Amino acid sequence: MGLNKYKLGDLLELLEHTNQDLLYSVEDVRGVNNLKQLMTTKADLNGRDLSKFQIANPGEFVFNHRTSRNGEKFSIAYNDLGKTVICTEDYVVFRVKPESTKVLNAYWLYMYFNRPEFDRYVITNSWGSSTEFYNWEDLCSIELKLPDFETQQQYVNVYKSMVANQQSYERGLEDLKIVLDAQIDNVKHMAPQKHLSKLLREVDNRNGDGEIKSVQGINISKQFMPSVADVNGVDLKKYKLVKKGQFAFSGMQTGRDECIRIALCDMEVPVIISPAYTVFEVNEKSVIPEYIMIWFLRKETDRRGWFMSDSSIRTNLDLDRFFEIEIPIPEEKVQQSIVELYAVYIARRKISDRLKIQIQDICPILIKGSLEEGKRT
């Protein structure tokens, strides 16, 4: 039979079903990221009229027609969550026409959208000035060649089996997270509380010889990152050293970001940070630095830091207030068990993230394979 040529608009239909009866709430709102997945929205929904939000049922597609500042990606997702969600009225919702479902497999189309080649096509054909768009009419104008439905399904089955394996792994990951949280909560209620002033001491070692050039900052994920500050002409000898097992802390704008900016150095080679930052190390041998860092990664600690920050325009968390924060400190073997469990969780989460990337990376291969096989049938 070979490949059959179609215009995508002939196989798709635009959907405009709104949440006018308010059957769906804030918990059902989803956005679309540039990994082409539906995600819990980060938008502030206070005061938003959810009756205007669009309904996206399982088996339907959602895309953001704004392509500006999106990492050279087209944000489009397929609702395979097994439940109905809602999305902002600015998005576009569509599906494969019921009469076309034996011509075009929706999962095959999703794999087609997941290719970098498709992203490049969309970005190249977006239009606008400061804000660029790729609209429903643009999507409908795409011409593509399709293999027969059976061939599409064959390659979709490969894709779905990989997704099922990744999702199974992720469910196990969430089970591990529940165990970890339960263990931490038990410590929270049973172990004695200690102020950070008793647990940490400030250290001030400088880059005196100027040998270290790796200037780092701290992001809101509490990780070191290359500094975005312009250090041309700056005397790096005045910058502070952070060695493995030491913390770097910045109290600036804690209230604004609702986040305590602190990071634990796990690098073998020391890094340097701005002299405006503070460096700490653990003050007691029986306290494990990684255990303290786990507590800084909890939202409740960020909320406490936000509450304790001052009311100035910079909303700083001053050092004396920072030292007033209390952390439960159990015996060392309990700390170690939590640290080890957390390390396993992080390692497995990284594997899960890699699996997601591998699934996306295989989409071009599957599409190409289906097209080549379709030519032969």
The residue count of the chain comes to 377
Dihedral, CA of residue 93, residue 98, residue 101 and residue 102, to nearest 10: -170
Q: What DSSP line would sit under 255-283, residue for residue?
A: HHHTS-EEEE---SS-EEE-TTSEEEEES
State the pLDDT at residue 1.
59
Closest to 149 measured CA to CA, from 79, 101, 111: 101
What is the dihedral sign for C-alpha 337, 343, 344, 345? positive
Residue ranges of the domains in the chain?
4-146, 192-329
The pLDDT score that the predictor gives to residue 92 is 96
* CATH architecture of residue range(s) 192-329: Alpha-Beta Complex (3.90)
What is the per-residue pLDDT for 6? 96
Give the pLDDT of residue 231.
Answer: 83
Q: What is the pTM of this model?
A: 0.76
Q: What's the mean per-residue pLDDT of the chain? A: 92
Task: Check residue 192 and report its DSSP letter.
Answer: P
What was the pLDDT predicted at 229?
84
Same fold, 4-146 and 192-329: yes
Spatial distance between the Cα atoms of 11 and 58, rounded to a whole number of angstroms: 18
Sequence-ordered list of residues with C-beta below 8 angstroms from that of 184, at least 6 positions apart, any chain: 294, 298, 338
Q: What is the distance, to the nearest Å, from the Cα of residue 287 to the centroid of all Cα atoms in its chain?
A: 31
- Give the CATH class of 4-146: alpha beta
Tell me what pLDDT residue 68 has. Answer: 65
> What residue type is assigned to position 241 of the chain?
L
Task: Provide the pLDDT for residue 69.
Answer: 63
Residues of the chain with pLDDT under 70: 1, 68-71, 129-130
- Residue 309 to residue 185: CA distance in whole angstroms: 25
- Residue 310's pLDDT is what? 85
